[in-house]
Structure formats: C-alpha cells, structure tokens
Amino acid sequence: MRAPAAAIAIVLAFAALADGAARAELVRVESVGSVPLAAGSAGGASARQAALEAGVREAVERAALDLASQAGASASPDSVRAALGTDLLVFASQFRILEDRGERAPLLELSPAAQREYVVTVETHVDRSRLRSHLQQAGLLGAPAQPGARTALRIAFEGVDSYPLWKRIARALGARGGAVRPLEFARGRIVAEVETPEQAGALVGRLGTGLGADFEVRSVGMDGDTLLVAIAPRLAPEPATIPDAAAVEAAPKPPTR
C-alpha cells in the first residue's frame, strides 16, 4: 500500500531538518540576560521574555567575538556587534531559560532610570557555521577569497545624494573589472550588486581610496545579506584666523619680573 502524499511530505521535511542540523556547527553557551525596569513599568512575562532575548544576544555576541579572535582578525568588538545586526536570534538553533532569577534591585543594569531589573540565566546553542559565514561576508574574519573567484556582494550605499557621486562610486568599484549593477534608487540611498573577489572590508577600503580625501567611507554593518556602507563628504577645515595686529598691540602685556 502506498503511503499518503502528506505522510511522505512530513518525512521529507524531517529529513531536511535533520540534514540541516547535521551540517550546523553548534556550540552551547551559558549567559545571563537582564533588562531594566523603570518605576511603574510592567514586569512579569514580558520582562522575562525580554531578559531571555538579551541572554541569547549576549551568547551570540560572545560566540562571534570568539570566532574573530580565533581567526586572528583585528576587528573591534563594536564592529563585530555592528555586523551582527539586530536580529541575533537567527544564529541560535535553540535556547531556554536555565534559571529565572526574576525581579531584583539593579546590579547589572546601571541606567539611572532602572529602579529594578529582571534577570535570567540562559542556555543557547549557537550555530557557529552560520555565524562564521555571516562574519566572513562582512569581511571581519580576514578569510582570503579564492584567486580569481568572484562573488556577488549586495551593498546599500547610504548618503549618496547625486548621480555624479554614484558614477564615481561605480567607477571606483569597477576598476578591477567586476560588474556593478544598481538595483534600487532612493533619496540618499542606492543599493547595488557588485561582483568582486574581495572580502567586504577590502572592498570598502578600496572604495575609500577611489573616492579620495573628499569623502569618508565606512562600513556600518549588515542588514540581512546586504552590506551597509555610509558615505559622507569630509568637511574642509576652517581657515585659521590671523589676529589683528592692532588688537595684539592693544592687549595687556604680562607683568615683567
């Protein structure tokens, strides 16, 4: 007798999940999550959930910093955190509360507005393979690209307010022969796909060199699979003011001894 199609679909779905779990590189991390509670704010289940998510974020950030350290990367903790973005739950295979410490006087939350804090201890299984891939895409692990191999990198350029500036960006990025394809145009923002053999950090550095001293170019992290790059004109230094000779002559002289 043939199995129903629905049963076959369920079996295939479980097989796909099992295969994905086998490929994942999971590491168990224990962390403490806390959230501040202002006077009169609601605690309970909502504060408990927020503390749980804070604990997961702490675990993912620690795993990311550990990967960067093992790779010998010189990325700062702030740049690693910025590259992770705001949705850190995508790097957690599973998580749970080990200890619910509940509300207490603030020890971890130092904000002046924190009258109380909600604290939990969290167990998180972090997917290091996904985390490593994300940090490599952001250019923070220093992994060299294969010689001659080009990949399509999606970049959102923030602060691009004129077409001539976009043309300068496209020329700088295409100087090594890779295609530069604009995908979205909006006020002050252009999203493009760039074919390059470089890591994101090297590409951003080359863009800064190509635009010259007139612009400041910096990576500000990842939004999903899109690298965020901020471009801002450098302000010219104000000219030094030469004091008026008459004013200098009229200024009181220090007493002589």
- Domains and their CATH numbers in the chain: 22-136 (3.30.1660.10), 145-233 (3.30.1360)
Q: How many CB atoms lie within 10 A of CB 249?
A: 8
- Higher per-residue confidence, 243 vs 57: 57
Categorize the per-residue pLDDT at 159 as very low, low, confident or very high, splitting at 50, 70 and 90.
very high
Dig out the tokens for 14 from the structure.
């479980």
188: buried, middle or exposed (CB in 10 Å: 19+, 13-18, 0-12)?
exposed
Tens digits of per-residue pLDDT, 43-82? 788 999 999 999 999 999 998 888 887 766 666 778 888 8
Q: Are strands 116-127 and 151-160 parallel, antiparallel or unpaired?
A: unpaired
Burial state string for 190-202 with b = 16 or more CB within 10 A and e = fewer than 16? bbbebbbbbbbbe
Categorize the per-residue pLDDT at 252 as very low, low, confident or very high, splitting at 50, 70 and 90.
low
Tens digits of per-residue pLDDT, 5-58? 443 333 333 333 334 444 568 889 999 999 999 877 767 889 999 999 999 999
Q: Residue 150, CB half-sphere, CA atoms under 13 Å: how many?
A: 12
Burial state string for 105-122 with b = 16 or more CB within 10 A and e = fewer than 16? ebeebeeeebbbbbbbeb
Contacting residues for 108 by C-beta, under 8 A, at least 6 apart: 32, 34, 117, 119
pTM over 0.75: no
Residues found in the chain: 257
Categorize the per-residue pLDDT at 223 as very low, low, confident or very high, splitting at 50, 70 and 90.
confident
End-to-end CA distance of the chain: 114
Q: How many CB atoms lie within 10 A of CB 75?
A: 22
Tens digits of per-residue pLDDT, 196-210? 887 777 888 889 888
The 8-class DSSP code of residue 213 comes to G
- Higher per-residue confidence, 223 vs 142: 223
Rounded percentage of the chain residues whose pLDDT exceeds 70 = 76
Q: How far apart (Å, rounded) are the C-alpha atoms in residues 18 and 165?
A: 49
Categorize the per-residue pLDDT at 246 as very low, low, confident or very high, splitting at 50, 70 and 90.
low
Tens digits of per-residue pLDDT, 166-184? 999 999 988 877 788 888 8
The 8-class DSSP code of residue 3 comes to P
